[in-house]
Amino acid sequence: MTSCATQLRELLDGRLTNWRGLPPDCSLSAIAKAFGGVSMLDASARLGSKSVSCTRSSAEEAPLTLWHSGETILLAECDLLSTPVPMPSFDPAGIFRMDVEWGAATLKGGEMLTAARGLSLIVTDDANVVTCFGFSPMSAQDYLATRRLRGQRLTPLIPHPIDGAAR
């Protein structure tokens, strides 16, 4: 396994304490080789308030979603929902808490950002990490501008007539 794949495996296994950001050799082809290939999910994804253009792909053999520009991985999302891990203990001085829009609900303070480590965690009210995002270390402002997922609230379901039938 490449060092990139080894690092991402640590995130997938919930070993978050030593994470220090995506390594320089983290490429889409390295991920494809280590995790049985990748499949493109969205060719026109966007990240951050600056709407950074990228592609969204998933690893074939791991719950890993990648936002990338060509071979360069911008953001790696590790889904830990089926096996949540306890929130690690980090120095509170470098942590920013933000609300997360999750479907039609908001998880108050649910995103714990440690941008200098290249790590953002989605944490439940009972202090379990259900998702983590790995990226290259940067400032919190740069993360918000260029890496944070652009959450969108779901709109209420409005039934539409099918085949002209009235409802």
Domain ranges of the chain: 3-146
CB 126 within 8 A of CB 86: no
Max mean pLDDT among 56-70, 82-96, 152-166 falls in 56-70
Of 11-25, 35-49, 125-139, the range with the lowest mean pLDDT is 11-25
pLDDT of residue 2: 56
141-151 mean pLDDT? 89
Give the pLDDT confidence score for residue 151 in this predicted structure. 59
φ, ψ of residue 38 to 5 degrees: the values are: -135, 150
* 103-143 confidence digits (pLDDT tens): 777 888 899 999 999 999 999 888 999 999 999 999 999 99
Rounded mean pLDDT, 21-38 = 91
Predicted model pTM:
0.85
